[in-house]
Amino acid sequence: MNIGLFDSGLGGLIITKSIIESIPEYNFSYIGDTAHVPYGSRSKETIYNFTKNCVDYLFKNQNCELIIIACNTASIASLRRLQQEYLKENFPNRRILGVVIPTLETVIENNYKSIGLLATNGTVASNVFNQELKKLSKDIQLYSTPAPLLVPLIENNGDKYARPIIQDYIKTFENKNIEAIILGCTHYPHYKNIIKTEAEKILQRKIDIISQDEIIPKKIITYLQNHPEIETNLSKDGKRFFGITDITESYKQQAYSIFGEPIKIEKINL
């Protein structure tokens, strides 16, 4: 059985690559819902329906035992409902994990007291990062800034326009004394070096970047170690499947850039 990964677009490929590099022996199946990207401005019910369709495909068509929703917006809008309703009714012995809690656990582990969050409109509006953080610690101050232009830039080869936009987003953290910035969208690691450089320049101090392509692989390894009933069901043939709901030349080029080599991508119909 496979490990499934799902994202609305390119961001999940960044996370997928880092996970594969960490545990290359496992079989992986990836779906990017590129026909509906970006998710950040859509309603919670719409995001849930899109996510459920992709999760259903991974379980039924790709024989996945475990699925990681490598999308913050989808994790926030859909994860709990999928776990409590969808899994219970359809696949009670399989598991779906998200990326928000592992990210916040990293904040706690590093003893930060004041942090910034860059995320999509939907993620910021949900206030979930702040709500979940308060469950873990009431002593950490979180400042959230929506950064809705970054996903379209990444999806459409707009890197040359990114720096001044990122600068504007970073300026919202002035006078907040933040120590780190959470990249609250799996697309954003694409710009993590620029974000760090501009943040330290504008805020005039060392700023750590909490990036999910670095966090999630470690958390998955720990999860598998702690859940042998899941791990023992996973196949270890090193097989890969990449499926997306709409194929464009831009996506192929970006996928090549992320992996450093061509990868076979199939169009899927949900």
Place of tokens 């873990």: 136
Closest CA to 189 of 217, 154, 144: 154
> Residue 60, by phi and psi: left (phi above 0), alpha (psi -120 to 50) or beta?
alpha
Find residue 116's DSSP bridge partners. Answer: 143, 181
Per the CB < 8 A criterion, the answer to whether 214 and 149 are in contact is no
CB atoms within 10 A of CB 235: 15
Rounded CA-CA distance 203/90 in Å is 49
Cis preceding-peptide flag for 38 (omega within 30 of 0): yes
Catalytic residues: 71, 185
Find residue 30's DSSP bridge partners. Answer: 5, 242
Q: Is 51 helix (H, G, I), strand (E, B) or coil?
A: helix
Phi first, then psi, for residue 248 (nearest 5°) are -130, 160
Rounded CA-CA distance 33/49 in Å is 12
Place of tokens 């192929």: 252
